[in-house]
Amino acid sequence: MLKIDGLEVTFSRAGADPVRAVRGVSFEVAQGESYGIVGESGSGKSTVLRAICGLAPTTGGQITLEGTPLPAPRSPAFYRRVQMVFQDPYASLHPRHTVDTVLSEPLAIQGFERREARIEAALTDVGLGPDFRFRYPHQLSGGQRQRVAVARALILEPQILLLDEPTSALDASIQAEVLNLLDRLRAERGLTYVMVSHDLAVISHMCERLLVMQHGQAVEELSREALRARAASTDYTRRLLKASVGYTREDAPA
């Protein structure tokens, strides 16, 4: 459904060397699939997502959605099909807008009908309920904010949801709730996910296939089964796998 072919993203800055954030990354996501991208900070994993939705410049390669190359800038129709949830729920909601304003804005822009009913339904869908409709972000906890962000992304009824570390700013118990929510919504609506995270456990829980990235390049692609079997073919992935267990005292240098 979504095909990324040899994607290059280079940021050119005045008076400095251009930064090649993504260097020739390719992958393909099937309809209804959940695809993970794992990497550490600076690996370019978030930049891939931003390039897909047009927030970062595509300087090479091609992104196609159902065989059609995406226009630059993206068309409004594109945003009805692809939406994104950001990492930090404290930065992704406008501090002076109520939940109601946040949710009615996309409906107004895209000219949707039955707005009242849609807002109420969206809030119920993400487990908040109409009670939350007129609150400001500062009246919400981190987990509740992230639910609002998910509701904002889903209110346009997209087919593909890009998730940029949706739980890394949340407490562990809240993370479980949000992951369950995302899981349920995908099952109910047949959504396609592309999820970025630094946490192998989260990706393994959420995604059927995953891509490991380092320094802007794809290191390797693994299936969930291969990950669980620790069948990593590169050193870097093995290091990530080991680190995800926690601290191990045995191999500390004597």
Q: Report d(CA 60, CA 47) in Å as an integer.
A: 14
Q: Which of 206, 211, 164 is nearest to 38 (CA)?
A: 211
**Going residue by residue from 145 to 164, which x/- string records binding to other proteins, judged by CB under 8 A?**
----x--x---x--------
* Segment contacting other proteins by CB under 8 A, of 23-31, 64-72, 87-95, 115-123: 87-95
Strand partners, 9: 22
Residues 6 or more apart in contact with residue 142 via CB below 8 angstroms: 89, 90, 169, 170, 171, 174
| Residues between 53 and 82 that touch other proteins (CB under 8 A) | 53-55, 75-76, 79-80
> Toward other proteins, which CB reaches closer, 68 or 248?
248
51 binds other proteins (CB under 8 A): no
Enter the tokens of residue 250: 């045995």
Residues 6 or more apart in contact with residue 18 via CB below 8 angstroms: 10, 11, 12
* Segment contacting other proteins by CB under 8 A, of 17-25, 62-70, 118-126, 236-244: 236-244
Q: Which amino acid type is present at position 177? A: E
Could you say which of 18, 228, 233, 234 contacts other proteins (CB under 8 A)? Answer: 228
Beta strand ranges found along the chain (DSSP E):
2-11, 19-29, 34-38, 60-65, 68-69, 82-85, 160-164, 192-197, 209-214, 217-223
Q: What's the closest the beta carbon of residue 148 comes to other proteins, in angstroms?
A: 11
Could you say which of 32, 60, 142, 208 contacts other proteins (CB under 8 A)? Answer: 142
Could you say which of 202, 207, 211, 213 contacts other proteins (CB under 8 A)? Answer: 202
* Segment contacting other proteins by CB under 8 A, of 16-24, 118-126, 132-140, 215-223: 132-140
Q: Report d(CA 103, CA 154) in Å as an integer.
A: 10
115 binds other proteins (CB under 8 A): no
Decide: 44 and 21 in contact? Cβ < 8 Å: yes
Which single residue is written with the structure tokens 């390719």? Answer: 26
Task: Using CB under 8 A, list all residues that contact other proteins.
Answer: 40-41, 50, 53-55, 75-76, 79-80, 83-84, 86-88, 91-96, 98, 100, 105-106, 109-110, 131-132, 134-136, 139, 142, 149, 152, 156, 171-177, 179-180, 183-184, 198, 200-202, 204-206, 227-228, 239-249, 252-253
